[in-house]
Chains A and B, each alone.
Chain A
Amino acid sequence: MSAHRYREGVKVSERHGAVEWLTERAALVALLPLSLWVASSAFTLAGADHAAVMGWFARPLNTGLSVATIMILSVYAGLAWKVIIEDYIHRPSSKTFLMALSNLTFLLLTATAVFFIVRLHVGSAPLPAGFGI
């Protein structure tokens, strides 16, 4: 085990932990109003036809809040899964593997969702248009 590194008399790992804790809190505070907005959006979009959904995503506010929600949720859920894995998985190799898997999953999920949202916002032709298939 390597010796602890210190900066200004505080363990570097402790500063890192504090930043993660603050990130979790900030993300959760941002997600609380967003979750109410998601509920109201779900109410609007439940049962709506395709044209109505496309019209909804054409509005910049809806697109912006959708992208913000998926990004902040991924940051928050990624850190939450990290805490859960740290609490219940103790074999170092399994822990490293699961954390990498969790981070990769949320990265891919965010990229996929943003890709779809942007296409809906600009009103692209139905997929697989643009992929030459």
Chain B
Amino acid sequence: MSKPHPDGAAAEDQTGRFVTQPNGRPRPLSPHMQIWRWHVTMAASILFRVTIGAASVGAVLVTAWLGAVAFGPGAHAAVTGFMGSPPGLLIGFGLTVVLFSFFLNGARHTINDTGNGLTPKTSNLLSWISVIGPVVLAAGFWAALMGAPA
């Protein structure tokens, strides 16, 4: 039941510049990063999507760790040893950044979903907290962990 529309080429477009709506008319694609002028609210928004993607990978890694524990002390010790090495610590730090990003950016998203915090001043502040906060909290987490008695 699609109607003819002015730009027939858009319907065949696979370059990603246009999509065809259910009424048969073309519309430009959803916002892509290169279309928007940089702003911190945009950065917080796309970083939340990145965070969810990274959290999905994190869930796989945590499940692998659960598996190592389930396979016994030998496998668990191997994973613990790797996590103490430089690449392991880098992964560990990244996972805590993702975790705190999920918390802070998720809180921002939830506040905005209730219709609050949408004035330019507040949305900028919440976005800056969501972008910078995770790194600060992760640094604090690791400082406390390294400083804690073994």
Contact = CB atoms under 8 A, between A and B. Distances in A.
B16 A90 contact: yes
A53 interface: yes
A116 B113 contact: no
Interface stretch (B36-44, B97-105, B122-130): B97-105
B6 interface: no
A42 to B, nearest CB: 7
Given A43-B145, A112-B63, A127 B70 contact: yes
A22 to B, nearest CB: 10
Contacts of B53: 81, 84
Contacts of A70: 59, 63
B77 A50 contact: yes
Contacts, number: 108
Interface in B73-97: 73, 75-77, 80, 83-84, 92, 95-96
Given A35-B99, A36-B103, A127-B72, A84 B67 contact: no
B76 A109 contact: no
Binding site of B, secondary structure by majority: helix, strand, loop or mixed?
helix
Contacts of B49: 80, 84
B59 A39 contact: no
Interface residues of A, number: 43
Nearest to B72: A126
Contact of A50 (B72, B92, B95, B113): B72
B141 A127 contact: no
B119 interface: no
Contacts of B96: 39, 42
Interface in B20-50: 22, 29-30, 49
Contacts of B59: 70, 73-74, 77, 109, 113
A54 interface: yes
12 contacts: A36-B103, A43-B144, A46-B145, A73-B55, A76-B52, A81-B52, A81-B56, A90-B29, A106-B56, A109-B63, A112-B67, A113-B66
Given A31-B106, A77-B59, A113-B59, 9 more contacts: A42-B96, A76-B52, A84-B49, A106-B56, A116-B63, A116-B67, A116-B70, A117-B66, A126-B72
